[in-house]
Every structure is written in structure tokens, then in C-alpha cells.
Structure 1
Amino acid sequence: MRTGKIAGVEIVVNNWFLVLIVLFSIAGLASKVLLIFSAVLWHELAHALMAGGLGYKVRQVELLPFGAVARIDRLADAGAASEIMIAAAGPLASIGLAVLCYTGMAGAGPGRELLTFYGEVNIMLAGFNLLPALPLDGGRILRAILTGRRDYRDATAIVVTLSYVISCMLLLWAGVSYWLYSTLNLTLLVAAGFLLLTARTENNLAGFRALRILANKKAELTSSGVMPTNHLTAMESTIIKDVIRLFGPEQYNIVHIINRNFELCGALTETQVWEGLLKRGIKARIKEFL
């Protein structure tokens, strides 16, 4: 159900979310549920507004029964700096809201309990999202940092491995809690299952990212006739893997190839590199592409 727009971003309420509100209202917990989801909405809007400020089109934010999701066009094609800024915006917004809650508790009176609860919710939301696991914000930030030294697929594989480790730790935590207190923590189990499934999906999609980015660049260049270009210079003996890891997603790349005498041997467009890669493999030397 569409409820309106905030700063130009369409807000959609999932029907199951409405059912959840009704159920919690019957149980007398409606106010706390609404506070939780307002915190999640604030978190997602921060991502959306940052993405919009960086030039990405934000279509909508949907409230789901167990969270929210911001739908942002071409977000997966963002460069490392943009991805870090967009990912960090959510946790920073949650921490800022928590600070406001704690600073306002002094004169809150009867509302002190709700302010304390709301502050704790925002702190937990920020803390969980900063875990170095995909698709959480912390995992996206770590992957973006790793792409400075590795290609996107290798960086994704490293963070996915961390995601599996964190999932196992959450499962272990749930098991120890049950053994000690005879209480099953469903939140930990759901979080562990969520990370296991979504991290595997992220790993599967990483291999298609480069081709998707190239297709978007070609479409943009064809339609506008011009776009920003990044020029690279490589020795003719350079392994192609070391070249493509420097390809940024927000510019078209052209590689100039020189020999040991620093004479220009030729140049390759990004499209030629990727097409040649399919024939020659990731370990070929760039001179073989000429």
C-alpha cells in the first residue's frame, strides 16, 4: 500500500506489515512496534537521501514485516567512495537519533521509558548493520575498502566468508543461550539464517557485476554521446587481472599499453578488454589483447 512521499521518495507499506501492527496492537505493544519501524524507516531514508545526493535515482522505501528496504537504481554499480558514503549514512543516522533520545531523557518525565527504548533500538540497529557481513552496511563498507587492493569479486568473496563466520557465531550464541537459560532466541536464529542466505546471493551476483556495469556504460555512452573517462597506462607484460581491478564503475576506461622502452604500443577500450578476457582468460598478459 502506497502511503505518500518523503523528500521525493515513495513510501510503500507492505500488507503483512499492516497485519503485524494489528496483531501487536491486540497484544498492547503497538507503540513499541511503531517506534521500531520508524527507526528502520529513518535508517533506510538516510541511505536513500545520501544516494539521491550522489546522483542515484531513489525509487521507493518499502516497510516489511521484519525491516525495510530502499530501492535505488544502479546502486550495485556505485564506486567504492559512493558505496561507503551510502552504506555509512544509515548507521550514522541511527546513532544520531539515539544521541537525541539520550540527551532528551532528562526532561522527558513519563516518556522517559519510551525514549530509552527508542535509543536502545537505534543503537542496536546501527550496531547490527555495522557488522562486517553482506548485505549489511558494514560488509558493504569493508568490501568497498578491499576493492582498493583487490578486484570486486575477490573482495566480495572475503566478506562473504566473514559473513559465514558471523552467522556461525550467531548460531553458537543462540545455542549457548538456550543451554544456559533454556530460552530460544529467535532473533539470533533469524539473523543467522538471513546472513547465510543473502551472503551467498551476493557472492553469486558478484561475477555478473562487471558485465552489468559495462552494459550500463555502453548504453549511457550511446545515448549521450559522451561520458567521463579514466585513462590507465600498463606495461605490455602486465597480467590483465591487475588491470581490470582498477576499472572504476563510474567512468569509461581506456588502457594505454607501453613496452620496456616506454613507447606506446597501442590502446584498448574497456569493451575490448572485457571481450578479449572471455577468449584469453584472467591470467593473460595485456599485450595479447592487441
Structure 2
Amino acid sequence: MELFKLSGVSIRIHPSFLVVLLLYGVLGLAAQALLVFTLVLGHELAHLLVAKAYGFKVEGLELFPFGGAAYCDGLFEGRKLEESIMALAGPAFNVILLFIAQTLRWNGLWAGEFADNFVRYNLWLAAFNLIPVLPLDGGRVVRALCSEGFGFVRTTKFLAGAGKWLGVIFALYGIVLGVRGKFSDGPLFFLILGGFFWFAGTKEISAAHITFLRHLTRKKEDLMKRGLMRSIWLTVQKNTPLVRIVEEFTPDRYAMVNLANDKMGMEKILTETDIVEGMLREGIRFPVGKL
């Protein structure tokens, strides 16, 4: 649901966030709900400002109970420096607010329940978002750092799968709280959070190959513009499925594939473009030796 536009950026709120805000309101915690909303919005605006500083055109922000997602007209996923700094901008915003608020409390300049909640929620948002799974900021940092070594698609699948299992843990914890009658500890909140992590992890995995194809287009443009690009070499056997090779590709290097014969000698060389076009034409399980 779109709330408003800020400098041409559409600010949307995810239904799970609405449910959480409603729960807070029912429990008589409207002030805390407003505080959480404001901190999450600030967290996401920090991501937005860094994206704009890198020259990305941000088209929209979607707010979730623990953070959000920025939608950009351009690729930052898997790019080591850009994705890492953009991801860390949100938690850094909360850490700065936490430090300022705690300093005021230590010096007796701010006290009371609102001050306690301000510190607690900023700590929670910063720490929670640094968990190294997708779609959290910590997962995006790990993906940026590991994509070059393990491949963008493979890294995304692993981190998103970890996020889905974290969602299962949250959901099970919510069920345990409900069975024990500890409704004041928020079992419904953990069930909603668990469901969202499962949904978001599935979405990340589904989008991984599409994002990679966009990276391939960008790499071609960069190669034509700059006249050179770092490359990686892969040696594969004839029966290796194309999807297995694609999972080794990285966002910032162009792949050259050495097709080995039965005696492990070089039979022919295929480019990254050959592999992707063959996968789109023949299917993901098509053996590379038949290209």
C-alpha cells in the first residue's frame, strides 16, 4: 500500500507491517508503534541516501516490521562495495541514534519510558538487520563479499534458504509461546515474522536468475564502454548441466568456460554469453557438451 511520495520515491508499507502496527494499537502501545514506524522509515531513508550518492535512481521503498527494501533502476546486488555500504547504512543510522540517546541518558538529560524504548528499538533494529541471511542487511553484505568467490546465484540461494529456515524458527517459537499461554510475549508477531521470512526468502531465490541476467546485460555494456573486464576461467565436463555453470558466474567478472574432453584435455572454449543463451534456448538441465 502506497503511503506517500518523497522526492519522486514511492513509499509503500507491507501488509505485515500493518498487522504489527494494529497489534501494537490493540495492546494499547500506539506510541511504541509510531516510534517503530518512524525508526524503520529513517532506517530505509538512510539506504536511499546512499543509493542516490552512488548514482542509483531509487524508484520506491517498501517498509517491513524490521526494515524494508529499496527498488532501484540499476544493479547494486552482488557488487562488493556498493551493496555493502548501502546495506550497512540502515543499521549505522540506528547505531548513531542509539549512541546519541544513550549519551543523553547517561548524562541525565533524557529519561523515562520513551527514552528506554528509543534505545531498545534502535538496538533491536540494528542488531536484527545484521543477521547474515537474506533479505536482511547482513545477508546483503555477505552476498556482496562472497558472490565473487561462490557465484551470485549460488550465494543468493544459500543466504535466502538460511533466511527461510530462520523464519521457521521464529514461527515455531511463536507456536511455543502460544501453547504456553504467554500471549504477552507476542506469539502472533513471531508467526507473522516467520511467515514473512519464508515468503521473502522464496522471492529472493526466484529473482536470483533474473537479477543475474540483468547483470549479464550490464557486463556487456561495461565491456563495450571500457574495452576490458576481468574474467574467470571454469573447466567443465561435457555432461555438466548449464544451470550448474551459471551458478558459478559472478557479477563483476566475465566467465570463459573450458570444455574438457574425456582425457581432460581442452576440447573447446565457450563464453558466458554462449552458456546463458544456450540455457534460455535449451533449458537449464541441458548438458554443456551438446552446445
Q: 2: CA distance between counterparts of 1:131 and 1:15?
A: 21
SS of the residue aligned with 2:85? helix
Q: 2: CA distance between counterparts of 1:267 and 1:196?
A: 40
Indicate the RMSD between aligned Cα atoms, in angstroms: 4.2
Partners of 1:174 and 1:188 within 8 A in 2: yes
| Residue equivalent to 2:191 | 189
Q: 2: CA distance between counterparts of 1:117 and 1:53?
A: 31
Task: Give the number of equivalent residue pairs.
Answer: 275
Are 1:98 and 2:98 matched, yes or no?
Answer: yes
| Residue equivalent to 1:44 | 44
Q: TM-score, normalised to structure 1's length? A: 0.73
Name whichever of 20-29 and 267-276 sits farther off. 20-29
| Residue equivalent to 1:33 | 33
| Residue equivalent to 1:199 | 201
| Residue equivalent to 2:225 | 226
Give deviations 1:166-211, integer Å, cap 9, x for gaps: 1221122223323334425221111100001110111112122222
Q: 2: CA distance between counterparts of 1:176 and 1:25?
A: 24
| Residue equivalent to 1:12 | 11
Identity percentage of aligned residues: 28
Partners of 2:171 and 2:191 within 8 A in 1: yes
Q: 2: CA distance between counterparts of 1:27 and 1:169?
A: 25
| Residue equivalent to 2:148 | 148
Alignment of structure 1 residues 250-269 onto 2, 5 Å: 253=254, 255=256
Partners of 2:171 and 2:192 within 8 A in 1: no
**Per chain length, whose mean CA-contact separation is higher, i.e. which structure has more relative contact order (CA < 8 Å, sep 6+)?**
2
Q: 1: CA distance between counterparts of 2:227 and 2:85?
A: 21
1:95 to 1:198, Cα distance in 2 relative to 1, 3 A: same
Alignment of structure 1 residues 78-157 onto 2, 5 Å: 78-107=78-107, 111-157=111-157
| Residue equivalent to 1:262 | none
Q: TM-score, normalised to structure 2's length? A: 0.72
Give deviations 1:194-235, integer Å, cap 9, x for gaps: 0011101111121222222223455x469xx62463133648
Q: 2: CA distance between counterparts of 1:18 and 1:91?
A: 22
1:216 to 1:176, Cα distance in 2 relative to 1, 3 A: same
